[in-house]
Structure 1
């Protein structure tokens, strides 16, 4: 069970919990690199003007200054603040380094971010995100929207998190549908639909009427669209059956069908077309993604993102992209809280090399060096206590093997879980593959 942090919103994992988080990060890194994404890291701070240029809520941004510095005003665009996501810093990074990057540029990034919101289940003030994006110079083929859905489905499938659903929609589809209905404020409709799961259909209907002036017929059609969710391309016929036509709607239907058609072949059952997904942020222009854990939908999205045409731009240069962000800390906190994944031990060590007497410490270090040279993590006992105490120490730390060296120079290794003990040579001995590293496995 995850330990409650002493400072709310700033989690600190115990070693065995940290091993689970590290496993998640290592797995994501491996999958991303298998797909050719290069790793970058951006600075932790940006100027306030840079962070808020897309209209984000400034009350969630942590300002950064020296304690002895004069108080800076919120209106100072050059004041420094901690980044609250990785997308805005990445956009700046692309613009500043465009001359040194090969486009389309494929990047992944895993860093801490900070957000001043009220801590609650799945929400933190300091947390780790893992992002992947593909950015083009001027244009970016739609195929990347399809590819990113498949990469994320593969990455999440490799984690011990249970079943999940990557829910995909297309802003062109939604906006074209609303325009065909006669609702011109498509951004406003999207913001209302984005609240559907939080406040329910009746309250969304009320918002559409009071804030946007929608008629009963328009509201009914908008909510009917949001009800459509399929694991295959049958959503196309269901949307068309609603009787609304618009060129942008057709474009969105075609793009979303490409994503789902590929997912049916590559990630069956994991990716669904869900017309209720809106993503309230205005910079998304096409494909939008949200991911939920089946049975833990109340946690909210653990991975989200979409296509943006002009998040990164300068002068006449435009860098369209598509990307997704995984809330690693949110995901890990649920894994620990529900005990859906556990680490085999709290330390990386597979072997404790014992001491027969205090004079044997250097020889024990030679044994440890031989083991480490072949990738076997080990520790050497600090003092020559009774073997029973040394074994108890290994057991307390979760170290599965204890190494003994006799006076005649021969060696034996004991598996303290089974009690089996056998002769061993430090130059060739290997533990079972499952014991070589600290394994993280799904519960049950």
Structure 2
């Protein structure tokens, strides 16, 4: 069989890399659970009409069909299913199907793979992990959840920093500020303005101003004022003062603008206390032009801004609706695979070994393998990850087997060793060369950190 060609966009990490990914996933999950979010998992497929209801993702959806279908109607039914490309659509469906069994407001986290048929590139994959948190209400959802969620994410990233993950910044805006400002200017094509403001980083202010004039019908002054608003950013409530100065100077007023400024100010005030310097108001953030209605969020790694947003989301007043009941929500999603790929490719975070094993039990000869297995069982029963040497090779080779995998300890069973000498149970730290007597019923590594692979930046 010829050597297979890797499929681009479908990452497969080596064992040590997978250990890094698993540790990051554990930290994220632990943080979510500390804040009262309940874990759920939804099916991998959804009806195509649900996945494609917004239209713009139609080229990205992987459609399912059986290789060998039976009846023609069964084949047709299969072709109406697609792999989910994010976790929002399945969650909305989940809420509608289980509303009678959920207590609202419902706080959920979901860590799963999703599939998206886009062009693979740095940090973008066709199969990848997302980690989402959402709070959804029945009929109404208090604003304070729009404050809580970015602070939960800020805590998750702060805990990831202990592994060596770079500094992060969560950028926030409020769609009510933008819409109220534009309407106060006399502009009605709010989505058109947002769509062009969202291009600022790509094409620059001059080109955006031209688009606002040509496509939205703004005057030169209106276009400039839109750019002035988009240029306001900061980590404290002075942002609100600067917006008010801008609106007062040009007589811009709108009720929605006032609501948005109050909400954004409350978010920044809480962030200044609980996550100082890590949440920044940035009034050019648009996101989800056709569905976000309140706070919107994007997150970047400082020094790695070229990677794009690694965590984003916002408030949506209609996460789900069955025609009679509406379920508003607010959510944030971490692109875990995007984050992990940068950490691995740049060598920012590594694992100390490629296996979870802390102890390798040596085998004197195959006749005594059962004795080695018994020792391993005793150690495992006490929570010590243990493996048994695959062959009864010379002890030097068994030590090399452990060394290649980063296993720190080799256990030599009591009895007659390969040199014909009577020995008690002995444990060798193959890093330092220190060898001591051991009892499988009581022995523990001196350093408890040796029990599991270390994950960090200085491994």
What TM-score do you get using the length of structure 1 for normalisation?
Answer: 0.95
Instruction: Give the match for residue 40 of structure 2.
Output: 40
**1:117-132 equivalent positions in 2, closer than 5 A:** 117-132=118-133
* Residue matched to 2:190: 186
Query: 1:410 Cα deviation (Å)?
Result: 2.4
Secondary structure of 2:293 counterpart: strand
Paired positions, count:
438
Query: Which one of the candidate residues 420, 424, 429 is aligned to 2:434?
Result: 420
SS in 2 for 1:261: helix
Match of 2:242 in 1: 238
Q: Secondary structure at the match of 1:209?
A: helix
**1:411 lines up with 2:415 in the alignment:** no
Structure 2: how far apart are the matches of 1:216 and 1:76?
A: 53
Residue 338 of structure 1 corresponds to 346
Establish whether residue 25 from structure 1 lines up as the match of residue 25 from structure 2. yes
* 2:440 counterpart of 1:436: no
Alignment of 1:207-222 (within 5 A): 207-222=211-226
The answer to whether 1:397 aligns with 2:397 is no
TM-score, structure 2 as length reference:
0.92
Which residue in the other structure is 1:9 paired with?
9
User: What is the Cα deviation at residue 439 of structure 1?
Assistant: 1.7
Deviations 1:72-109 (A, max 9, x none): 9xx99981111110001100000010001011111000
Who is 1:301 aligned against?
Answer: 309
Asked if the contact 1:49–1:77 (Cα under 8 Å) also holds between the matched residues in 2, the reply is: no
Aligned ranges for residues 45-444 of structure 1 at < 5 Å? 45-69=45-69, 79-159=80-160, 160-243=164-247, 244-407=252-415, 410-431=424-445, 432-443=447-458
What is the CA–CA distance in structure 2 between the aligned matches of 1:145 and 1:351, rounded to whole Å?
A: 47
Q: Does the 8 Å contact 2:63/2:79 carry over to 1?
A: no
**What is the Cα deviation at residue 67 of structure 1?**
2.4
Structure 2 unaligned segments of length 5 or more: list them. Answer: 416-421
Q: Residue 419 of structure 2 corresponds to which residue in structure 1?
A: none
What displacement does 1:177 show?
0.6
Q: How big is the shift at 1:380?
A: 0.7
Q: Is the 8 A contact 1:355 1:384 kept in 2?
A: yes
Q: Tell me the secondary structure at the aligned position of residue 319 of structure 1.
A: strand
Are the equivalent residues in 1 in contact too, given 2:235–2:281 (CA < 8 A)?
yes
Q: Would you say the 8 A contact 1:48–1:76 is kept in 2?
A: no
Unaligned stretches of 5+ residues in structure 1: none
Quick one: distance in 1 between partners of 2:441 and 2:281?
55
